[in-house]
Structure 1
Amino acid sequence: MILLDAESMVRRSIKRVGQYKFHRDHGVEARKILQFLETEYGKADPVNLRLADTYAREVFGDAIYAPWLRVYTAFSGTFKEGWIPDNYYGSVVVPSMKGWYGKISGLKAISRLIFDGDAIPDVAYFANGLFLTDKNVVVPEREIEGVVFRHCDRVVFKLDRSQQGKGAYIFDKSTFDVEIIKSLGNGVMQKFIIQNSVFNAFASKSVATLRFTTVVDDLGGISVRACFLRLGRAEDTHVQTDREICVPVNLATGELDREGYMSDWAATEEHPDSRIPFSGVTVPAFRQCVATVLELHKKIPFARCVGWDITVDEDDNVQVMEWNGEHNDVKFSEATQGPCFSDLKWERLKAAV
């Protein structure tokens, strides 16, 4: 009994240390963004900032949730009830509304088992020492290259639990090597998507992605709550979080907002490299994109909030590049399109002890 109590105390201590670091890092990031916004656009109204601080304490129960509310406030020029701080989302909402069911999104080899369909661009997997087809049939090492390049000339290999543009590698027939794949670890090989000309005009080397956020309410209803377009820079082979340009998308029309935002939250009305303006551009096949993410979320309703990274190819086909059932970012959507989740009563959830 004493040993069990000691082990429980150690686990709680480790968890507290992890939570402390989590909130500290979020606070540092939020305060850096707030400083930039106030330097660039002027000081935020102190009355509104005090409302954000009060809301953090009275609604979410702790001042540690104030920094993101302050960012949303400074960005919007006003305070809005119903906003969800990103660190509250990560520390309270994610464990409560997803738990272990959300974590499976990091295991690439199971995506087709769950979703299947032409919208999933997976062609093969490497998992636990085995090469597998997209139907999870084991293939000898000497045959996997033929499987991978049967219907495409290039593939992107993404490691399990990869995120923020890290853990992604591009191979063609001349560079593909099974030993390299094995050395990298478990992951998925997806066909390299030739993106729609609308996206290609902004940046041609990287595939632009649409980040849709969908939720399941307490009655099982599934809805889209936010969407933004993620664009890479001219020389990037894939979109990377620390260099991307994000442009909010109107959920009713699929039109891009007039302004997009750099990774430091600086506003821009055009892509910084191609100089293509965002205004007047509509996402191709937008209704099909919406229908696709809603239909896919029906298959995993137990992960109550999902971030979908999808694109549209040169033939207007929707392609689902990955799904995030863990801490999918909500801060950008909350600042630009929120409050996105105010009707879901997430503020009533309690943090796990």
Structure 2
Amino acid sequence: MKTIGRRKFHWEHALQAKKILRVLENTYGKADPMNLRLADTYARDVFGDAVYSPWLRAYTAFNRKFKEGWIPDNFYGTVVVPSMKGWHGKISNLKTVSQLIFGSETFPDIAYFANGLFFSAHKVAIPQAHVEGFVFQNADRIVYKLDGSARGSGIYIFDRKTFDPEAIRSYGNGVIQTYIEQHRVFSEFTSNSVATLRFTTVVDDAGDISVRSCFLRLGRAEHTHVTAEDEVCVPVDLLKGELRREGYLDNWLAVDAHPDSGCSFEGVKIPAFWKCVATVLELHGKIPFARCVGWDLTVDVDENVKVMEWNAEHNDVKFSEATQGPCFSDLKWERLKASFA
């Protein structure tokens, strides 16, 4: 990462972290100054630079105490990602390669648009005149996702009446997926958008793969899909496969029920949870050279696991670290700073 780009990256992360810290303190009271000083000292002594302090401060205010072993999200982005993933992590930005890599029916991919051509999931070219008939032969609605789409942007939903191949051409390269009819457990929270489970898996130095965190991402009533700007995130207990008591808004303020439906979170069991765990572990085994991956998946009405996308680049660890962390302390990522900071 170039020096100017790195500075801008740290500056943007500092703004995010400080905004969250301010909201938390305005709502729940000031964080203990001693704990904040511990965060500052840890940033300098362990990570080698005060630029990593803002996220540690935000984690501290959220938990009302400081915990050793936390990974600042900007340290993850500037140090861990290039070291533990490199160019292999960037592959996940290309929606068209998922089936090439994984060859898994868990991906709801129907077709792709890339470099001026439509292709089936088996990479057979589809004439544009036949695209509509092909993608709707077994689906009433489809989702188009652009390469590199993230945080709920670059996502378009079509039915037969609204589908337009020329519109897809204008958007750019991406994947056409079947619109998933989600499990009733998720629909009770919100029926307008498909809820997603975000699993984070890692490969340790011995080559063993494990799940480090999981949370449920829920959309709001006025949206057709989950967006980062107003999603509700609920941590999942990895031992029980059920939701914890509180979920969190985009500013990390706690709620014990979905703001629109009023459905409570505590104790709700994730359908097919252990099947989800087995799926992400199996898939990560096919790309172990990307050492940390975020998987967005859901469970459909028939309890089939559907992997909607995967992120092997900067897959955002801050929410997991704040709510379930330290998630990665045994991996000794902080030692990477000497070579990559």
Structure 1: 4+ residue segments shifted above 2 A: 350-353
Match of 1:349, SS?
A: helix
Q: Which residue of 1 aligns with 2:208?
A: 221
Q: 2:33 aligns with which of 46, 69, 80?
A: 46
Shift of 1:280: 2.1
Q: What do residues 266-300 of structure 1 show as CA deviations (whole Å, max 9, x unaligned)?
A: 11000000000001201000000000000000000
Q: TM-score, normalised by structure 1?
A: 0.95
Q: 2:218 aligns with which of 224, 231, 236?
A: 231
Q: Which residue of 1 aligns with 2:340?
A: 352
Q: TM-score, normalised by structure 2?
A: 0.99
Shift of 1:116: 1.7
- % identity of equivalent residues: 67
Alpha-carbon distance between aligned partners in 2 of 1:249 and 1:151, rounded to the nearest angstrom:
33
Alpha-carbon distance between aligned partners in 1 of 2:63 and 2:123, rounded to the nearest angstrom:
47
Equivalences for residues 53-132 of structure 1 within 5 A: 53-132=40-119
Q: Which residue of 2 aligns with 1:325?
A: 312
Alpha-carbon distance between aligned partners in 1 of 2:151 and 2:199, rounded to the nearest angstrom:
15
Q: 2:174 aligns with which of 187, 206, 213?
A: 187
Superposed CA RMSD = 0.9
Shift of 1:139: 1.2
Shift of 1:352: 3.4
Q: What do residues 115-174 of structure 1 show as CA deviations (whole Å, max 9, x unaligned)?
A: 122211000000000100011111111111121111111100000001000000001111
Alpha-carbon distance between aligned partners in 1 of 2:321 and 2:167, rounded to the nearest angstrom:
40
Match of 1:226, SS?
A: strand
Q: What do residues 90-129 of structure 1 show as CA deviations (whole Å, max 9, x unaligned)?
A: 0000000011100010000010111122211000000000
Which amino acid in the other structure matches residue 256 of structure 2?
E
Equivalences for residues 118-197 of structure 1 within 5 A: 118-197=105-184
- Given the alignment of the two structures, is residue 343 of structure 1 paired with residue 330 of structure 2, yes or no? yes
Match of 2:237, SS?
A: coil
Match of 1:249, SS?
A: strand
Which amino acid in the other structure matches residue 301 of structure 1?
P
Match of 1:88, SS?
A: helix
Alpha-carbon distance between aligned partners in 2 of 1:282 and 1:352, rounded to the nearest angstrom:
41
Equivalences for residues 6-17 of structure 1 within 5 A: 15-17=2-4
Q: May I ask how many residue pairs the two structures share in their alignment? A: 340
Equivalences for residues 235-246 of structure 1 within 5 A: 235-246=222-233
- Name structure 2 gaps, 5 residues minimum: none
- Range moving further from structure 2, 32-41 or 343-352: 343-352
Match of 1:125, SS?
A: strand
- Name structure 1 gaps, 5 residues minimum: 1-11
